[in-house]
Chain A
Amino acid sequence: MDAFTSILPFKQLLPQKLSYDKQETFLKLFILASAGILAFATRLFSVLRYESVIHEFDPYFNYRTTKFLTDEGFYSFHNWFDDRAWYPLGRIIGGTIYPGLMVTSAALYHALRWFHITIDIRNVCVFLAPLFSSFTVIVTYLLTKELKNTSAGLVAACLISIVPGYISRSVAGSYDNEGIAIFCMLLTYYLWIKAIKTGSIMWSASCALAYFYMVSSWGGYVFLINLIPLHVLALMFTGHFSHRIYVSYSTFYIMGTILSMQISFVGFQPVQSSEHMLAFGTFGLCQLFSFVEYVKSKLTQAQFDALFSFALVTVGFALSVAGLVLWASGKIAPWTGRFYALLDPSYAKNHIPIIASVSEHQPTAWSSFFFDFELLVFMFPVGIYYCFKELTDANIFIIIYGMTSIYFAGVMVRLMLVLAPVMCVLSGIGISSILTTYMRNLDVSQPKKSAGTASAGSRSRRTDDSSTYPRKNEIAFGVVCLMTFFLITYVFHCTWVTSEAYSSPSIVLSARGGDGSRYIFDDFREAYWWLRYNTDEDAKVMSWWDYGYQITAMANRTILVDNNTWNNTHISRVGQAMSSTEDKAYEIMRELDVDYVLVIFGGLIGYSSDDINKFLWMVRIGGSTDKGAHIKESDYFTPQGEFRVDKEGSPTLLNCLMYKLSYYRFGETYTEQDKPPGYDRTRSVEIGNKNFELEKLEEAYTTEHWLVRIYKVKKEENRGQS
């Protein structure tokens, strides 16, 4: 640490009277506090640029449930049956969500209220993720400190405060589970490392509690409950297994499992589903291993060998029989699709269109690694190298964590988030090790005269053993400068990425006008607000599932499907309605009791993620069930296999409901100069089917830029009127 303090340029500014101990504490606090504040501040771009508003889709659901929790209390939240979603099925919210996020914000809200700090619940939700990012900075410091040393911890803390891979999920307004889950995950890891280092039950129990918090807040806890057993297994195989690890793991597994089963959404999964079997198996193995060790210590080698071979056969047989019986009786739940997708990236695409349709479930592009991590991509192997150099129990853990998470991040874009912390930890170790090595060389080559300061004196003692090579000082200087340059570019890159890519709330769109002024497209909220105030309170709105959460939260209307895609057939039914002709769709809509249909249309302003561009997913999902077997993806392509909406497009496409709702009366509109009417700016074509009328629906509302179009489903005409 003294090496660390001496390299700082502002050492002179520190009070000279302070002892080195105090200086160190002071510096640590200063750096950590700055990193924490920076982590909070850098996430506020969107609030400053737009407003304090919830982003994206899922956060709106979380916001709505949090609001319900604060208004109605925990028990009604727990028993909440939501009849506003998944009409006519409804959804048991209390039993199908991870409540950690909501409970955290509600607790924070009530604590503030108790002090008469009358902050709005929306603001609590908006600023929760940045707040937890600041906590994450501190936990990262602690974790890295346990793995390496204080200076590596501080570097890692500084790195994680601005790493874009994490910021992408935790900007102000991005009120999602991941925002607090990363904190919980790192806290669990930190306590786990603490536990295996000390072998104390207290740390293991704390670890189990942290794990409980993690389980309560994110489905990604499965990663954690597989990683820790994996670590234990690795320790066993490398001969690092000890009583400390036995105590830690047994305590952690038993307490953690019991606690995690208290979350009603998790229920009995920890003892039934295959995803948790590794943890269970490792627990058993731990007991066996220790038992064998114990028996071994009491018996002679020959006796032990006989016993061992006998036991291996019988126990192995008994286990496989029990496993078969459980599997046959369905006690071991089959692995869920998302988990298969993790192991086999092409699984989802081939089997479950609804999983494949989500953009964040796509495999990661190589460029996005650099985009999200920049310098860390290169420093990550360096950190791993340093960990291998000094292979302790804790370092084995971080290596396993690094390797597994880099695999998962490659499989699914979304899991970049899990990779981000370990990238920072390992890069922190790497950077700090490099800097410490070369900083020493810098000082050594200075003239001996200035060795008046004690720190130099103590350092010279340490560097005595290092072999000397020519131009030591210059090389060291060059490396340090290079590192500084890298770190500076890292800061610029992170800030740029945060500001440009991750800070738009997506509910409000903005564009630059010709004169540089900012133009705001607020059509989504315009439409939701219209629905909220000008439709019947019980009106049912049909839309593609992406907009479900937003409609329930902002428009407060009943919807058919939403972003919690638990019922494939129901979503498929909506997909069928959208991809059928108007008459067929009308039957489905009558069957589902739909009052309004909402579509997103970007053709007028050139907004690319509209419903026509998502339409193929609707067709695929619509055709994936028995009822929709007649819907075939190929019908919506031209004979050449193209998806086009102009004259050459397939007639099935040009006459389906989605097409008609998107382009109703669009054929009369001029969008661009020198182009014919009905020119779609998103797809840059003139639409193929222009003059049609709707028979069973009527336009109820279209927003200013035509981004959201709402149609009213006409009631069936009275009999006998013809």
Chain B
Amino acid sequence: MMRLSFFCIFATIVFVTGQDQDGLINSNVERTLDLVSHLPKEIISVTIENRGTKATRYYDYYVEPQHVNNVAYVGAAVKGKDNDDQGNLVIKQETTDKTKGAVYRIALPNDLRAGQTITLEIEVAHVNALRLYPAEITQTERQLVLYKANPYYYSRYTTQTQKTTVTLPTDRAESYTQTPKPVAKSEQTITYGPYENVAALTRSEITLHYENNNPFLTVSSLNRWIEVSHWGNVAVEETIDMYHSGAKLKGPFSRLDFQRRPDSLSAVKTFKTSLPASARDVYYRDEIGNVSTSHVKEMQDQVEVEIRPRFPLFGGWRTHYMLGYNVPSYQYLFNKGNQYVLKMRLVDHVYDDQLLEQVTIRIVLPEHTRNIEFYPPPYGVERLPNEKHYTYLDTVGRPVVVITKRNVLFQHIQDFEIHYTFDKIMLFNEPMLLVGPLFGLFCLVIILVRLNFSISRNEISEARMRVQAVWDQVVENNLKRTGFYQKIDDALNTYKTNKDLKGYNEQRKKIENELKTVQQDLAGLQAKVKADSADSAEKIAELQRLDTQQREIQQVLSGLAEKLVGNKLAKPAYLTQEEVARTRLREINARISAIINQY
């Protein structure tokens, strides 16, 4: 056994030195193991020195084989550079080796020449790395977890000095491995090391058993639905399945105890979700309706939604909800001519220290978009084949881009881009779809109303319609008639002032001729309507009679005026006689309009 392990170490050394061609060593490593949340986070500040001869571009970060599946995020930056966006280095995951673990190749910002040093800060987030111990607790018990880690920095390179600082959520640790010395614990921190000259790929194990009452909130699946409208809106809806991945609740749940002790330990009562600052119309609901327990706070740079699930989540309890909102598209959708770019966050912040185990994002683009290109954020996502979605006023369906990713953390909240082509003329497609059928409907109604489609002749209604048509004409003629009388009156008045008898007579003749035609028309109509409605014919005859009377009075009036002008009649006498005539005229007019108005 001894020999075997010796052999192993020997082989390892040979192997490592064989590999260690680029001559890098870790001259100083300061490792912080942050165990405060349910996602253990490692921040490794490593100073690299190139002891070799050649310049190198890469630094390999290794993950122990047992942790390969737990690592959800690896990020690296050059220490000291504050502008974080620039500092992020490109990382590529190489093939995983079963014995040595996963390799992440970090590209250095520039060649590291012989003798030079550089300090990197590597951030690693682990998921599902904590073991709940015990796995089931009662409502009032504390939640204890077990974490196994390597006290040494696991690296392909030799490490000269290193130190690991573990931060616990509370100062209560049930137990922690006391080797390899030196180990020091002060309140919440346990320090392992410093250790000198640790060989490459050294593995050891320490076990920490400590209290962690943080909410172990985990989203088992998140479906994000982004619907882009070119009318100025982007609608986002997230359907979330959530569970408490902490120690399972054992035994009864007592509301009384829960209410008495508001600090009910690991239960999740509320959490905060941050949405973009421009989010409007936020809704929070599930299949059975609105969840009436939430608050929305609008802040400078975000909209904060305080979400309270319908019930507090204890270990093992699950819930499900939908959260949706709208954002104006001008903040996310850019275009140049027919070329559009959609730039949005792949996921939102759901809660602090979020762990979204399975995320599916569906981006619904407007109908008739072409040349869709998807540019993922700087980490790997899987793109599934496009789907089609049909909703209001769709004919050919909207293309849906489908993206999935596993284990999404806070660090993954980054932008993606979609480039596509959309002909602007197609914006008119949807209004036309509304206008077209309505126009058709109106046309149809017009045709149906104007034309007679009945296969049998209904004499009565036909006759009624004919009578109606005749009366329409009568009304028109009547309008004409009154117009002419008005003209005669006007002419009379003019005559009274300018005393031009000839002009007046001429004008009167002309108008009277016109009136005659009107009367003839009416007579014609009377003849026409006689067959269908004797009543109507009688009415028209009555009209004619009234008209004749009116004409007579008009003549009397004009005779009077002539007398007045010729000074054959005194003014007062004229006025009384005129008044009598006028009254009769008014009566006649009233009777005429009474007849006309009946139809």
* A706-B290 in contact (CB<8A): no
* A668-B590 in contact (CB<8A): no
* B311-A665 in contact (CB<8A): no
CA distance A529 to B253 in the complex (A): 16
Nearest-neighbor residue (CB-CB) of A709 within chain B: B255
CB proximity of A234 to chain B, nearest CB, Å: 34
With a CB–CB cut-off of 8 A, which chain A residues contact B594? 451-452, 454, 457
B390 within 8 A of A: yes
B105 within 8 A of A: no
B473 within 8 A of A: no
With a CB–CB cut-off of 8 A, which chain B residues contact A529? 286, 288, 310-311, 319
* B252-A700 in contact (CB<8A): yes
A261 within 8 A of B: no
The residue that A453 contacts in the complex, of B392, B597, B599, with Cβ under 8 A, is B597
* Chain B interface main SS type: loop
Interface residues of A in 697-718 (CB under 8 A from B): 698-704, 706, 712
| Size bracket of the A interface | 35 or more
B317 within 8 A of A: yes
* B593-A452 in contact (CB<8A): yes
* A530-B311 in contact (CB<8A): yes
Q: A53-B288, A116-B392, A699-B253 are in contact. List 4 more A-B contacts (CB 8 A).
A: A51-B285, A53-B289, A451-B594, A528-B288
CA distance A665 to B254 in the complex (A): 9
* A452-B252 in contact (CB<8A): no
Nearest-neighbor residue (CB-CB) of A530 within chain B: B311
* B311-A701 in contact (CB<8A): yes
CA distance A85 to B289 in the complex (A): 23
B21 within 8 A of A: no
CB proximity of B159 to chain A, nearest CB, Å: 48
CB proximity of A270 to chain B, nearest CB, Å: 39
* B252-A699 in contact (CB<8A): yes
A145 within 8 A of B: no
CA distance A347 to B316 in the complex (A): 52
With a CB–CB cut-off of 8 A, which chain B residues contact A704? 255
A522 within 8 A of B: yes
CA distance A701 to B599 in the complex (A): 77
* A522-B599 in contact (CB<8A): no
Nearest-neighbor residue (CB-CB) of B397 within chain A: A116
With a CB–CB cut-off of 8 A, which chain A residues contact B599? 19-20
Nearest-neighbor residue (CB-CB) of B589 within chain A: A452
* B290-A53 in contact (CB<8A): yes
* A698-B256 in contact (CB<8A): no
A508 within 8 A of B: yes
A377 within 8 A of B: no
14 interchain pairs, CB-CB under 8 A: A19-B468, A116-B392, A118-B390, A522-B291, A525-B288, A526-B311, A529-B319, A530-B310, A530-B317, A533-B319, A534-B317, A698-B252, A700-B253, A701-B255
With a CB–CB cut-off of 8 A, which chain B residues contact A702? 253-256
Interface residues of B in 571-592 (CB under 8 A from A): 590
CB proximity of B284 to chain A, nearest CB, Å: 11
* B289-A525 in contact (CB<8A): yes
Interface residues of A in 507-525 (CB under 8 A from B): 507-508, 520, 522, 525
A554 within 8 A of B: yes
CB proximity of B25 to chain A, nearest CB, Å: 53
B251 within 8 A of A: yes
| Size bracket of the B interface | 20 to 34
Interface residues of A in 97-145 (CB under 8 A from B): 116-118
* B317-A533 in contact (CB<8A): yes
With a CB–CB cut-off of 8 A, which chain A residues contact B393? 116
B interface residues, Cβ below 8 angstroms from A: 251-256, 285-286, 288-293, 310-311, 316-320, 390-394, 468, 590, 593-594, 596-599
* B255-A703 in contact (CB<8A): yes
CA distance A52 to B290 in the complex (A): 8
* B597-A534 in contact (CB<8A): no
A684 within 8 A of B: no
* A454-B394 in contact (CB<8A): no
With a CB–CB cut-off of 8 A, which chain B residues contact A455? 597
With a CB–CB cut-off of 8 A, which chain A residues contact B289? 51-53, 507-508, 525
With a CB–CB cut-off of 8 A, which chain A residues contact B286? 529
Known: A454-B597, A458-B598. A526 touches B310 (CB 8 A): yes
CB-CB nearest 3 A-B residue pairs: A454-B597, A702-B255, A698-B252
With a CB–CB cut-off of 8 A, which chain A residues contact B253? 699-702
CA distance A108 to B598 in the complex (A): 46
CA distance A88 to B317 in the complex (A): 28
Nearest-neighbor residue (CB-CB) of B595 within chain A: A454
CA distance A712 to B320 in the complex (A): 22
With a CB–CB cut-off of 8 A, which chain B residues contact A392? none
* A520-B391 in contact (CB<8A): no
A669 within 8 A of B: yes
Interface residues of A in 50-76 (CB under 8 A from B): 50-53
The residue that A522 contacts in the complex, of B293, B596, B597, with Cβ under 8 A, is B293
* B292-A520 in contact (CB<8A): yes
* A454-B598 in contact (CB<8A): yes
With a CB–CB cut-off of 8 A, which chain B residues contact A452? 590, 593-594
The residue that B310 contacts in the complex, of A525, A665, A700, with Cβ under 8 A, is A525
Known: A452-B590, A457-B594, A525-B288. A118 touches B311 (CB 8 A): no
CB proximity of B406 to chain A, nearest CB, Å: 23
* A665-B256 in contact (CB<8A): yes
With a CB–CB cut-off of 8 A, which chain A residues contact B590? 452
Nearest-neighbor residue (CB-CB) of B394 within chain A: A116
Nearest-neighbor residue (CB-CB) of A533 within chain B: B318
CB proximity of B513 to chain A, nearest CB, Å: 29
CA distance A20 to B392 in the complex (A): 42
Interface residues of A in 373-419 (CB under 8 A from B): none
CA distance A507 to B598 in the complex (A): 60
Nearest-neighbor residue (CB-CB) of B389 within chain A: A118
CA distance A702 to B255 in the complex (A): 6
Interface residues of A in 432-460 (CB under 8 A from B): 451-455, 457-458
CB proximity of A429 to chain B, nearest CB, Å: 28
Interface residues of A in 660-707 (CB under 8 A from B): 665, 668-669, 698-704, 706
CA distance A454 to B539 in the complex (A): 14
With a CB–CB cut-off of 8 A, which chain B residues contact A520? 292
Nearest-neighbor residue (CB-CB) of A553 within chain B: B288
With a CB–CB cut-off of 8 A, which chain A residues contact B310? 522, 525-526, 529-530
CB proximity of A447 to chain B, nearest CB, Å: 13
With a CB–CB cut-off of 8 A, which chain B residues contact A526? 310-311
* B391-A522 in contact (CB<8A): no
With a CB–CB cut-off of 8 A, which chain B residues contact A530? 310-311, 317
With a CB–CB cut-off of 8 A, which chain A residues contact B285? 51
CB proximity of B530 to chain A, nearest CB, Å: 22
CA distance A120 to B361 in the complex (A): 21
CA distance A704 to B308 in the complex (A): 12
CA distance A699 to B138 in the complex (A): 13
CA distance A523 to B252 in the complex (A): 19
CB proximity of B366 to chain A, nearest CB, Å: 14
CA distance A535 to B319 in the complex (A): 12
CB proximity of A207 to chain B, nearest CB, Å: 25
CB proximity of A665 to chain B, nearest CB, Å: 5
The residue that A117 contacts in the complex, of B256, B392, B598, with Cβ under 8 A, is B392
* A533-B320 in contact (CB<8A): yes
CA distance A114 to B484 in the complex (A): 62
Nearest-neighbor residue (CB-CB) of B255 within chain A: A702
With a CB–CB cut-off of 8 A, which chain B residues contact A522? 291-293, 310
With a CB–CB cut-off of 8 A, which chain B residues contact A525? 288-289, 310
With a CB–CB cut-off of 8 A, which chain A residues contact B251? 698
CB proximity of B29 to chain A, nearest CB, Å: 45
CA distance A699 to B253 in the complex (A): 6
CA distance A53 to B319 in the complex (A): 20
With a CB–CB cut-off of 8 A, which chain B residues contact A706? 255
Nearest-neighbor residue (CB-CB) of A706 within chain B: B255
Nearest-neighbor residue (CB-CB) of B321 within chain A: A529
CB proximity of A269 to chain B, nearest CB, Å: 36
CA distance A452 to B588 in the complex (A): 11
* A118-B391 in contact (CB<8A): yes
CA distance A51 to B291 in the complex (A): 10
CA distance A116 to B317 in the complex (A): 38
